[in-house]
Amino acid sequence: MSHATYELKAEARERVGKGSSRELRRNGLIPAVIYGDKQAPISIALSTNEVTKRIHAGGFMTTIATIDVDGQKIQVLPKDSQLDPVRDFTMHVDFLRVSGNTEVTVEVPVHFENEDKSAIKQGGVLNIVRHTVEFHCPANDIPEFITVNLDGAKIGDSIHISAVKLPKGVRPVITDRDFTIATIVAPAAGVAEDETEAAGE
């Protein structure tokens, strides 16, 4: 369901501040903080390469990691990472301490299936209103994505969150309305003829 967990080695940081952060970065390390779960925050340093590799692999914000801080293993979920916009370089990461019953709020990507069994096949256009949806979910069971089934969807249809089968324990952050994830709209004028000819070949 969710990505395999992974482990990162870290060392606790004694000195915290601008100067020491710069020094860490020069040595190929990223300053990070582990907080939450009603415990004091821990300042740590992580290998820049390891973290950058994880971020580029995808699913970074939705995968639980184990951070080994000088032998103490802590389960965490990345909450926030600051990039240096110029050099595409991770400056800092915040990690939230999680245990089996921690609930977290994450943005989950939306995937669509059965487009060929919907009006899209006849030239309708899928208009995606939300590419990601924010959910509350158990920290140890974050969906990698949610799937919207377009089977039977017609032009003019809207697909709302209520139509999506969500995994157990996963609830949308927006609760006051049945919000739209996508709509199927008529093709723009002029596109339709070409589509029909192509389909008739």
pLDDT tens per residue across all 201 residues of the chain: 345 678 999 999 876 676 788 888 889 998 899 998 788 899 999 998 898 888 888 888 888 899 999 899 999 999 877 776 666 666 788 999 988 678 888 899 999 999 999 999 989 999 999 999 999 998 878 888 999 999 999 999 999 999 999 988 999 999 999 999 999 999 876 554 444 444 444
Instruction: Compute the C-alpha angle 160/162/165, nearest 5°.
Output: 110
The parent domain of residue 185 ranges over: 104-200
Give the chain's domain count: 2
Same domain, 70 and 127: no
Residues 10 and 46: beta-carbon distance below 8 Å: yes
Which residue, among 181, 187, 96, has the nearest Cα to 142 in the 3D structure?
Answer: 96
- pLDDT at residue 62, rounded to an integer: 83
Which letter does DSSP use for residue 136 in this model? Answer: E
Last residue of a domain, one of 80, 99, 118: 99
| Residue 130 CB neighbour total at 10 angstroms | 16
What length is written for the chain?
201
Last residue of a domain, one of 67, 99, 131: 99
Q: CB-based contacts of 169: which residues, under 8 Å, 6+ apart?
A: 137, 138, 141
Residue at 1 is within a domain: no
Tokens 């990698």 appear where? 144
Same domain, 94 and 124: no
- pLDDT at residue 14, rounded to an integer: 78
Residue at 24 is within a domain: yes
Tokens, residue 108: 């989950």
Q: Which of 83-91's residues contact partners 24+ apart within 8 Å by CB, and which partners? A: 89/48, 89/52, 90/30, 90/48, 90/51, 90/52, 90/55, 91/25, 91/30
- Per the confidence metrics, is the pTM higher than 0.85? no
Q: Is 63 left (phi over 0), alpha (psi -120 to 50) or beta?
A: beta
Where b means 16+ CB within 10 Å and e means fewer, 50-67 reads bbbebbeeeebbbbbbeb
- pLDDT at residue 1, rounded to an integer: 39
Over its C-alpha atoms, the chain yields an Rg (Å, rounded) of 22
Tokens, residue 169: 């324990």
Same domain, 17 and 92: yes
Tokens, residue 192: 């339709």
Last residue of a domain, one of 72, 99, 126: 99
- Alpha carbon distance 201, 193 (integer Å): 13
